Structure 1
Amino acid sequence: MATSDAPIQQPANRRDPSSTVELSESECLHLLDGADVGRLAVQLPEGGVDIFPVNFVIDEGRVLLRTAAGAKLESLMNEPIVAFEADSFDYYEHAAWSVVVKGHASLVVDHNELFRLLNVELDTWHPERKPYFVRISPASITGRRFAIHRRVEP
Protein backbone atom coordinates (compact mmCIF):
# COMPACT_ATOMS: atom_id res chain seq x y z
CA MET A 1 0.00 0.00 0.00
CA ALA A 2 1.27 3.44 -0.82
CA THR A 3 1.40 5.65 2.20
CA SER A 4 1.31 9.40 2.39
CA ASP A 5 4.56 11.26 2.91
CA ALA A 6 2.69 13.86 4.97
CA PRO A 7 4.51 14.61 8.21
CA ILE A 8 3.04 12.97 11.25
CA GLN A 9 2.13 15.50 13.90
CA GLN A 10 3.70 15.23 17.30
CA PRO A 11 1.97 16.36 20.49
CA ALA A 12 2.69 20.01 21.15
CA ASN A 13 4.57 19.13 24.32
CA ARG A 14 5.39 15.44 24.59
CA ARG A 15 5.89 15.69 28.35
CA ASP A 16 2.52 17.36 28.88
CA PRO A 17 0.05 14.51 29.66
CA SER A 18 -2.85 16.62 28.43
CA SER A 19 -1.26 17.06 24.99
CA THR A 20 -3.32 15.22 22.36
CA VAL A 21 -3.32 15.54 18.57
CA GLU A 22 -6.15 14.21 16.43
CA LEU A 23 -4.76 12.40 13.38
CA SER A 24 -5.89 12.64 9.78
CA GLU A 25 -7.11 9.53 8.00
CA SER A 26 -3.88 9.37 5.97
CA GLU A 27 -1.80 9.60 9.17
CA CYS A 28 -3.89 6.82 10.70
CA LEU A 29 -3.37 4.56 7.69
CA HIS A 30 0.36 5.32 7.74
CA LEU A 31 0.59 4.28 11.41
CA LEU A 32 -1.47 1.14 10.82
CA ASP A 33 0.76 0.26 7.88
CA GLY A 34 3.71 0.08 10.29
CA ALA A 35 1.94 -2.07 12.90
CA ASP A 36 1.44 -5.81 12.74
CA VAL A 37 -1.00 -6.63 15.51
CA GLY A 38 -4.32 -5.09 16.45
CA ARG A 39 -7.54 -5.98 18.22
CA LEU A 40 -10.76 -6.91 16.48
CA ALA A 41 -14.02 -6.35 18.38
CA VAL A 42 -16.99 -8.42 17.17
CA GLN A 43 -20.55 -9.02 18.25
CA LEU A 44 -21.09 -12.63 19.27
CA PRO A 45 -24.03 -14.58 17.78
CA GLU A 46 -25.30 -15.46 21.27
CA GLY A 47 -25.04 -11.84 22.39
CA GLY A 48 -22.27 -9.76 23.89
CA VAL A 49 -18.96 -8.84 22.35
CA ASP A 50 -15.48 -10.28 22.25
CA ILE A 51 -12.07 -8.93 21.30
CA PHE A 52 -9.47 -10.91 19.40
CA PRO A 53 -5.81 -10.02 18.86
CA VAL A 54 -5.10 -10.32 15.13
CA ASN A 55 -2.21 -9.88 12.77
CA PHE A 56 -3.13 -7.67 9.85
CA VAL A 57 -1.95 -5.55 6.95
CA ILE A 58 -3.39 -2.51 5.25
CA ASP A 59 -4.34 -3.45 1.70
CA GLU A 60 -5.82 -0.82 -0.61
CA GLY A 61 -6.89 1.32 2.36
CA ARG A 62 -8.64 -1.54 4.14
CA VAL A 63 -7.68 -3.81 7.02
CA LEU A 64 -6.90 -7.34 5.87
CA LEU A 65 -6.55 -10.30 8.22
CA ARG A 66 -6.61 -14.08 8.11
CA THR A 67 -8.58 -16.40 10.34
CA ALA A 68 -9.57 -20.01 10.82
CA ALA A 69 -13.08 -21.37 11.33
CA GLY A 70 -14.38 -20.64 14.81
CA ALA A 71 -15.96 -17.98 16.97
CA LYS A 72 -14.29 -15.03 15.24
CA LEU A 73 -15.34 -16.08 11.72
CA GLU A 74 -18.84 -17.08 12.86
CA SER A 75 -19.26 -13.70 14.55
CA LEU A 76 -18.12 -11.82 11.45
CA MET A 77 -20.50 -13.77 9.23
CA ASN A 78 -23.41 -13.23 11.63
CA GLU A 79 -22.80 -9.53 12.37
CA PRO A 80 -20.29 -7.89 10.03
CA ILE A 81 -20.18 -4.46 11.73
CA VAL A 82 -16.89 -4.43 13.64
CA ALA A 83 -14.36 -2.21 15.36
CA PHE A 84 -10.62 -2.64 14.96
CA GLU A 85 -7.92 -0.92 17.03
CA ALA A 86 -4.14 -0.79 16.96
CA ASP A 87 -1.80 1.29 19.04
CA SER A 88 1.80 1.76 20.02
CA PHE A 89 3.91 3.73 22.45
CA ASP A 90 7.47 4.92 22.65
CA TYR A 91 8.66 4.78 26.24
CA TYR A 92 11.67 7.01 25.59
CA GLU A 93 9.76 9.67 23.66
CA HIS A 94 6.84 9.55 26.14
CA ALA A 95 4.44 9.41 23.18
CA ALA A 96 1.75 6.99 22.07
CA TRP A 97 -0.83 6.64 19.33
CA SER A 98 -4.10 4.82 18.89
CA VAL A 99 -6.13 4.26 15.72
CA VAL A 100 -9.70 2.91 15.56
CA VAL A 101 -11.32 1.63 12.38
CA LYS A 102 -15.07 1.05 12.42
CA GLY A 103 -16.60 -0.66 9.46
CA HIS A 104 -17.95 -3.69 7.67
CA ALA A 105 -16.08 -7.01 7.67
CA SER A 106 -16.48 -9.35 4.74
CA LEU A 107 -15.06 -12.70 3.79
CA VAL A 108 -13.04 -12.52 0.57
CA VAL A 109 -14.58 -15.09 -1.80
CA ASP A 110 -13.62 -13.87 -5.28
CA HIS A 111 -11.10 -16.37 -6.70
CA ASN A 112 -9.06 -13.72 -8.53
CA GLU A 113 -8.86 -11.61 -5.37
CA LEU A 114 -7.91 -14.64 -3.26
CA PHE A 115 -5.15 -15.48 -5.71
CA ARG A 116 -3.83 -11.90 -5.47
CA LEU A 117 -3.96 -11.99 -1.66
CA LEU A 118 -1.77 -15.09 -1.52
CA ASN A 119 1.10 -12.73 -2.44
CA VAL A 120 0.35 -10.25 0.36
CA GLU A 121 2.80 -10.55 3.27
CA LEU A 122 0.46 -11.37 6.13
CA ASP A 123 2.11 -13.58 8.72
CA THR A 124 0.21 -14.78 11.76
CA TRP A 125 1.66 -15.43 15.19
CA HIS A 126 -0.49 -18.48 15.84
CA PRO A 127 0.67 -21.62 13.96
CA GLU A 128 -2.90 -22.77 13.16
CA ARG A 129 -3.77 -22.79 9.47
CA LYS A 130 -5.86 -19.68 8.67
CA PRO A 131 -7.38 -20.20 5.24
CA TYR A 132 -9.95 -17.36 5.34
CA PHE A 133 -9.17 -13.78 4.34
CA VAL A 134 -11.33 -11.11 5.97
CA ARG A 135 -11.38 -7.51 4.83
CA ILE A 136 -12.65 -4.58 6.89
CA SER A 137 -13.97 -1.74 4.75
CA PRO A 138 -13.80 1.40 6.89
CA ALA A 139 -16.86 3.53 7.59
CA SER A 140 -14.64 5.69 9.82
CA ILE A 141 -10.97 5.88 10.71
CA THR A 142 -9.98 7.97 13.72
CA GLY A 143 -6.78 8.30 15.64
CA ARG A 144 -4.84 10.36 18.08
CA ARG A 145 -1.28 10.83 19.20
CA PHE A 146 -0.74 11.77 22.80
CA ALA A 147 1.89 12.19 25.47
CA ILE A 148 2.13 9.44 28.05
CA HIS A 149 2.74 10.27 31.65
CA ARG A 150 4.59 7.84 33.86
CA ARG A 151 5.61 8.51 37.39
CA VAL A 152 9.30 8.10 37.94
CA GLU A 153 10.02 6.44 41.25
CA PRO A 154 13.06 7.80 43.15
Structure 2
Amino acid sequence: MNNDDRWFQGHLKDLDPAECWELLAASEVGRIAYVDDHGPLALPVTFRASDGSVLFRVSAYSQLARHLPGADAALEVDDFDYFTRTGWSVLLRGRVESVDSDALPPEQDRPTPWPEGLRSLYLRLVVDTVSGRRLLEA
Protein backbone atom coordinates (compact mmCIF):
# COMPACT_ATOMS: atom_id res chain seq x y z
CA MET A 1 0.00 0.00 0.00
CA ASN A 2 1.41 3.39 -0.92
CA ASN A 3 0.87 6.72 0.84
CA ASP A 4 -1.89 7.76 -1.59
CA ASP A 5 -3.95 4.65 -0.73
CA ARG A 6 -3.78 5.39 2.99
CA TRP A 7 -4.86 8.99 2.42
CA PHE A 8 -8.20 7.93 0.91
CA GLN A 9 -9.17 5.10 3.25
CA GLY A 10 -12.27 5.66 5.33
CA HIS A 11 -13.02 4.96 8.96
CA LEU A 12 -15.30 2.19 10.23
CA LYS A 13 -17.83 2.99 12.94
CA ASP A 14 -19.97 0.38 14.70
CA LEU A 15 -23.70 1.19 14.64
CA ASP A 16 -25.92 0.78 17.66
CA PRO A 17 -29.05 -1.39 17.27
CA ALA A 18 -31.41 1.61 17.10
CA GLU A 19 -29.50 3.07 14.15
CA CYS A 20 -29.46 -0.35 12.45
CA TRP A 21 -33.27 -0.59 12.71
CA GLU A 22 -33.64 2.97 11.35
CA LEU A 23 -31.56 2.06 8.30
CA LEU A 24 -33.56 -1.14 7.81
CA ALA A 25 -36.86 0.75 8.04
CA ALA A 26 -35.73 2.94 5.13
CA SER A 27 -34.65 -0.06 3.01
CA GLU A 28 -36.56 -2.74 1.15
CA VAL A 29 -34.01 -5.09 -0.43
CA GLY A 30 -31.46 -7.32 1.24
CA ARG A 31 -29.87 -10.74 0.97
CA ILE A 32 -31.14 -13.65 3.03
CA ALA A 33 -28.40 -16.17 3.81
CA TYR A 34 -28.85 -19.75 4.95
CA VAL A 35 -27.34 -23.19 4.53
CA ASP A 36 -28.92 -25.77 2.23
CA ASP A 37 -27.79 -29.26 1.19
CA HIS A 38 -24.96 -27.76 -0.90
CA GLY A 39 -23.66 -25.24 1.65
CA PRO A 40 -24.09 -21.50 2.30
CA LEU A 41 -26.34 -19.53 -0.04
CA ALA A 42 -27.46 -15.87 -0.17
CA LEU A 43 -30.42 -14.67 -2.23
CA PRO A 44 -31.98 -11.22 -2.63
CA VAL A 45 -35.40 -10.55 -1.08
CA THR A 46 -37.66 -7.58 -0.58
CA PHE A 47 -38.65 -7.10 3.05
CA ARG A 48 -40.28 -4.94 5.71
CA ALA A 49 -38.56 -4.54 9.08
CA SER A 50 -40.41 -3.77 12.31
CA ASP A 51 -40.71 -4.81 15.95
CA GLY A 52 -37.54 -6.90 16.05
CA SER A 53 -38.35 -8.97 12.99
CA VAL A 54 -38.25 -8.87 9.20
CA LEU A 55 -41.15 -9.97 7.00
CA PHE A 56 -40.65 -11.17 3.42
CA ARG A 57 -42.63 -13.05 0.77
CA VAL A 58 -41.59 -16.04 -1.30
CA SER A 59 -43.11 -18.45 -3.75
CA ALA A 60 -44.59 -21.45 -1.95
CA TYR A 61 -42.56 -23.79 -4.19
CA SER A 62 -39.22 -21.98 -4.08
CA GLN A 63 -35.89 -22.95 -2.51
CA LEU A 64 -36.56 -20.39 0.19
CA ALA A 65 -39.92 -21.98 1.04
CA ARG A 66 -38.32 -25.43 1.26
CA HIS A 67 -35.29 -24.49 3.35
CA LEU A 68 -36.09 -21.45 5.48
CA PRO A 69 -39.05 -22.22 7.78
CA GLY A 70 -37.58 -23.37 11.09
CA ALA A 71 -34.00 -22.64 9.99
CA ASP A 72 -31.39 -20.22 11.26
CA ALA A 73 -30.66 -17.47 8.76
CA ALA A 74 -29.14 -14.02 8.37
CA LEU A 75 -30.25 -10.94 6.46
CA GLU A 76 -27.66 -8.47 5.19
CA VAL A 77 -28.70 -5.03 3.97
CA ASP A 78 -26.32 -2.33 2.81
CA ASP A 79 -25.87 0.86 0.85
CA PHE A 80 -22.70 2.43 -0.50
CA ASP A 81 -21.37 5.27 -2.62
CA TYR A 82 -18.53 4.40 -5.00
CA PHE A 83 -17.47 8.02 -5.46
CA THR A 84 -17.03 8.87 -1.77
CA ARG A 85 -16.14 5.30 -0.75
CA THR A 86 -18.69 5.46 2.06
CA GLY A 87 -21.58 3.24 3.06
CA TRP A 88 -23.16 1.09 5.69
CA SER A 89 -24.02 -2.53 6.30
CA VAL A 90 -26.48 -4.12 8.74
CA LEU A 91 -26.54 -7.83 9.61
CA LEU A 92 -29.46 -9.54 11.32
CA ARG A 93 -29.31 -13.11 12.62
CA GLY A 94 -32.17 -15.23 13.83
CA ARG A 95 -34.66 -17.99 13.06
CA VAL A 96 -37.18 -18.01 10.22
CA GLU A 97 -40.82 -18.87 10.84
CA SER A 98 -43.86 -19.12 8.60
CA VAL A 99 -46.50 -16.45 9.19
CA ASP A 100 -50.20 -17.37 9.27
CA SER A 101 -52.54 -15.05 7.39
CA ASP A 102 -54.25 -13.95 10.62
CA ALA A 103 -50.87 -12.78 12.01
CA LEU A 104 -49.99 -10.59 9.01
CA PRO A 105 -49.75 -6.82 9.36
CA PRO A 106 -52.09 -4.58 7.34
CA GLU A 107 -51.57 -4.75 3.56
CA GLN A 108 -49.69 -1.41 3.43
CA ASP A 109 -47.12 -2.76 5.93
CA ARG A 110 -46.31 -5.89 3.93
CA PRO A 111 -43.35 -6.17 1.54
CA THR A 112 -43.95 -5.90 -2.19
CA PRO A 113 -41.87 -8.37 -4.23
CA TRP A 114 -40.07 -6.87 -7.22
CA PRO A 115 -40.00 -9.96 -9.51
CA GLU A 116 -43.09 -11.17 -11.31
CA GLY A 117 -44.92 -14.25 -10.11
CA LEU A 118 -47.02 -15.31 -7.19
CA ARG A 119 -45.31 -15.02 -3.80
CA SER A 120 -47.98 -16.06 -1.36
CA LEU A 121 -45.87 -17.50 1.48
CA TYR A 122 -44.94 -14.99 4.18
CA LEU A 123 -41.85 -15.71 6.23
CA ARG A 124 -40.46 -13.80 9.20
CA LEU A 125 -36.91 -13.63 10.42
CA VAL A 126 -37.21 -13.35 14.20
CA VAL A 127 -34.05 -11.46 15.04
CA ASP A 128 -31.73 -12.61 17.83
CA THR A 129 -28.80 -10.31 17.05
CA VAL A 130 -28.35 -7.11 15.08
CA SER A 131 -25.08 -5.46 14.17
CA GLY A 132 -23.96 -2.85 11.73
CA ARG A 133 -21.08 -0.73 10.56
CA ARG A 134 -20.77 2.54 8.68
CA LEU A 135 -17.77 3.43 6.53
CA LEU A 136 -17.12 7.16 6.87
CA GLU A 137 -15.05 9.37 4.60
CA ALA A 138 -11.40 9.74 5.48
8 Å contact from structure 1 (residues 16, 147) kept in 2 = no
Q: Say whether 1:122 aligns with 2:111.
A: yes
Residue 21 of structure 1: aligned partner: 13
Q: How many residues align?
A: 131
List runs of 5+ in structure 2 lacking aligned partners: 1-6
The 5 Å alignment of 1:42-121 reads 42-44=34-36, 46-68=37-59, 69-77=61-69, 80-109=71-100, 111-114=101-104, 116-121=105-110
- Matched residues, percent identical? 27
Q: Say if 1:148 and 1:82 are closer, same or farther in 2 by CA, change over 3 A.
A: farther
TM superposition shift of 1:117: 4.4
User: Following TM superposition, by how much is the alpha carbon of 1:128 offset from its aligned partner in structure 2, in angstroms?
Assistant: 1.1
**Unaligned regions of 5+ residues in structure 1, if any?**
1-14, 150-154
* Distance in structure 1 (CA, Å) of the matches to 2:56 and 2:95: 13
Contact 1:37/1:53 (<8 A) preserved:
yes
Root mean square deviation of aligned Cα: 2.0
* Alpha-carbon offset, residue 93 of structure 1: 4.4
Which whole-Å CA distance do the structure 1 matches of 2:72 and 2:89 have between them? 20
Could you state the TM-score of these two structures normalised by the residue count of structure 2? 0.84
**Alpha-carbon distance between aligned partners in 2 of 1:43 and 1:94, rounded to the nearest angstrom:** 31
